[in-house]
Homo-oligomer: A and B are copies of this chain.
Amino acid sequence: MRKSNALELAILGLLQASPLHGYELRKRLSTLLGTLRAISFGALYPALKSLTDAGHIEETADPTAAGPALSGKRARITYSITDDGRLHLADLLSDSGPETWDDEGFGVRFAFFGATKAEVRRRILEGRRSRLAERRATLRESMSATRERLDQYTLALQRHGLDGVENELRWIDDLIAQEDLTTRSS
């Protein structure tokens, strides 16, 4: 399948902490990833539906609806993770393939590092590092190759892009160093 399981993972990971309804889920999704833009409802609801069909999550009654009369108001649909979903989540969290390193998947994957085994965390961080190092090399090469025919603004843009990559590389290196310390001391 071509479908990215990043969203799937994010939903299962959030629901594992507590049941949520779609709107709240989207808000959490947005803040969870920091800078990444909010996911659209047109992506969220189909994802929820497919997860429900697969049996990983289930719709439950709205807990806040217990008290008031709820006169005509459209009921909130609260989603909970199922046992099957928990198993699937564990599967996703034990994965450390290339799809966990790239831009698309790394953020979400990292957000749930707290529920990820140390060795898996390690492999993912290493993968991310090599991916970034690769990109840095490409960027440097393309910059020195085209330096002459580029104006100052294009150059500044590429320089800024390179800075961003180098910055993330330092971040990853710090994280790896910290992982080393934690692993050794435990």
Question: Separation in Å of the A175 CB from the closest CB of chain B?
Answer: 7
- In the bound complex, do residue B160 and residue A34 qualify as a contact, i.e. CB atoms below 8 Å apart? yes
What is the total number of copies of this protein in its complex?
2
A contacts with B: majority SS: helix
**Residues of chain A in range 105-147 having any CB-CB distance to chain B below 8 Å:** 107, 110-114, 135, 139, 142, 146
* Selected A-B contacts with CB under 8 Å, 17 pairs: A32-B157, A33-B157, A34-B157, A34-B158, A34-B161, A34-B164, A35-B161, A35-B162, A35-B164, A107-B157, A110-B156, A111-B153, A114-B152, A156-B175, A160-B168, A163-B167, A167-B167
* Chain A interface extent, by class: 35 or more
Question: Separation in Å of the A145 CB from the closest CB of chain B?
Answer: 9
- In the bound complex, do residue B34 and residue A139 qualify as a contact, i.e. CB atoms below 8 Å apart? yes
Give bound CA distance, A111 to B35, whole Å: 22
Let me know if A184 is at the binding interface, CB within 8 A.
no
Question: Separation in Å of the A170 CB from the closest CB of chain B?
Answer: 10
- In the bound complex, do residue B161 and residue A164 qualify as a contact, i.e. CB atoms below 8 Å apart? no
Q: A35-B161, A111-B153, A114-B152 are in contact. List 17 more A-B contacts (CB 8 A).
A: A33-B157, A34-B157, A34-B161, A34-B164, A35-B162, A37-B103, A110-B153, A110-B156, A110-B157, A114-B151, A114-B153, A114-B154, A156-B175, A160-B171, A163-B171, A164-B164, A164-B167
